[in-house]
Structure 1
């Protein structure tokens, strides 16, 4: 299905991409702490809303 070259490229790309993402995140860590305080609350509300939709779907299905 995939050649050895394609697998090598995919592995190389993933390693370089993850390394770059870690580097950029660490570089901007001070800005993240300053401007994105409390963003976990938005994530929790969003996940709660999705869970509510699933519960409504299961409840109405019965």
Structure 2
């Protein structure tokens, strides 16, 4: 399906991309704590909302 060169490139790209993302996140961590305080609550309530929608969908399907 994929040649050996394509697989090597994909592996190198993923490793390089993840490494750069970790470096940039670590560099900006102090700013994230200031500007994105409370963002985990938003994520929690969003996931809760999606879960409630799935429960309602399953209940109404019966």
TM-score (norm 2): 0.98
Shift of 1:56: 0.4
TM-score (norm 1): 0.98
Which residue does the alignment assign to 2:53? 53
Show structure 2 runs of 5+ residues with no match: none
Count of matched residue positions in the alignment of Structure 1 and Structure 2: 62
Show structure 1 runs of 5+ residues with no match: none
RMSD, aligned α-carbons = 0.4
TM superposition outliers: structure 1 runs of 4+ over 6 Å: none
Whole-angstrom CA distance in 2 between matches of 1:43 and 1:37 = 12
